[in-house]
Copies of this chain bind each other. A is one copy, B any other.
């Protein structure tokens, strides 16, 4: 049994690599870009969330809004790159979710390099992010976000 491969399988089923956009006066371009890696689980089965937190050595576990589930989440861009992305590059997802992960990894690296702080980099991140998680709903459209 290889626990790192097991965790990748678990995340392939239950995990989410997401990039959300929120209007923000505190950010120079008027938008906060928030990448996050999260895994939700019923409260009575929190063991794997704790294993993930221990394995990655970062992130928080807290009740989700619905209060019926717990959510493990990593939001720090440096933790995402150094701990989360690096794991899934060695132990990749084997479903189509891998394509979302690859876009997510590019976005995290660009943000780490500060490319999101200039218009061109920001717009390229918007394009990549809106090609992710195509089944989910978005608060804002491409045209609303792009600068």
A45 touches B95 (CB 8 A): yes
Question: CB-CB < 8 A to A5: which residues of B?
Answer: 1-6, 9
Q: Which residues of B contact A97 (CB under 8 A)?
A: 45
Assembled-state Cα–Cα distance A2/B96 (Å): 18
| A7 located at the interface, meaning its Cβ lies under 8 Å from any Cβ of chain B in the complex | yes
- Interface SS of chain A: helix, strand, loop or mixed? helix
CA distance A97 to B13 in the complex (A): 15
| Interface membership of A91, Cβ < 8 A | yes
Which of chain B's residues has its CB closest to A6's CB? B9
A47 contact from B4, B9, B95, Cβ within 8 A: B95
**Pair B96/A44 contact, Cβ less than 8 Å:** yes
Residues of B within 8 A of A45 (CB): 95-97
**CB-based nearest B residue for A47:** B95
**Closest CB-CB distance, A87 to chain B, in whole Å?**
11
Interface residues of A (CB under 8 A from B): 1-14, 42, 44-45, 47-48, 51, 90-92, 94-97, 135
